[in-house]
A and B are shown apart, each in its own frame.
Chain A
Amino acid sequence: ETGVTQSPTHLIKTRGQQVTLRCSSQSGHNTVSWYQQALGQGPQFIFQYYREEENGRGNFPPRFSGLQFPNYSSELNVNALELDDSALYLCASSDSGTIKIQYFGAGTRLSVL
């Protein structure tokens, strides 16, 4: 069984740029959720994808967008990066039958300069 993998592990961007983060879900999982974790805080829910459709969204602006592919892998795109976007971005996968039991990846550390 393959766990959740995220790439890249670290990324440095400058303000105003765009970034794409990637996530491969755990084998057999069809649902992917993305979280932003700022330093010293708990993860904050960005959105969830199920069967390639957005299936719930947290309080994040539209410049945060996502995709899910037929193989259930997913991307998180952030446009017009701001300094406050610097954080650890976590991906979690789950099965639709037990959608709230989530398996997390190790995260991508994004630094915006």
Chain B
Amino acid sequence: AQRVTQPEKLLSVFKGAPVELKCNYSYSGSPELFWYVQYSRQRLQLLLRHISRESIKGFTADLNKGETSFHLKKPFAQEEDSAMYYCALSGQGNDMRFGAGTRLTVKP
């Protein structure tokens, strides 16, 4: 079965602190993993995908197949990072399975 788990519904950090949003998945094949973000009053948008191996807005995410994880990290959180973050998985087909999301709040 294809499943994405984001264990934290809420995460709060202070500005300048490191942040890690957890994502675990279950999938029997080779998945493609994504992080989507939704800022306040904006639409859902792609933040990054694992095959791009890039850093977007200071965020990085590494696919760990052994631990079946795709955690999102940023060394120094900013207030503008406050948003809802969704981890998503796509397998061989064209469907995209999303986790329930983590609301990140960065306090000044």
Contact = CB atoms under 8 A, between A and B. Distances in A.
Interface string A69-92: 000000000000000000000101
A106 interface: yes
Given A101-B46, A102-B46, A104-B45, A42 B98 contact: yes
Interface string B82-98: 00001010100111111
Contacts of A50: 94
Interface in B53-108: 86, 88, 90, 93-101
A26 to B, nearest CB: 12
B45 A100 contact: no
Interface residues of B, number: 20
B11 interface: no
A56 B44 contact: no
B94 A104 contact: no
Interface string A33-60: 1010000111111001010000111100
A57 B100 CA distance: 20
B99 to A, nearest CB: 5
B98 A43 contact: yes
Nearest to A38: B100
A105 interface: yes
A33 B86 CA distance: 17
B44 A100 contact: no
Contacts of A4: 43
A43 B43 CA distance: 12
B43 A104 contact: yes
Contacts of A33: 94, 96
A33 B96 CA distance: 9
**Which 9 residue pairs across A and B have the least CB separation, nearest first?**
A42-B98, A56-B94, A45-B95, A104-B44, A43-B98, A48-B94, A104-B43, A106-B43, A42-B100
8 contacts: A41-B100, A42-B4, A42-B99, A45-B95, A55-B94, A99-B94, A100-B49, A102-B46
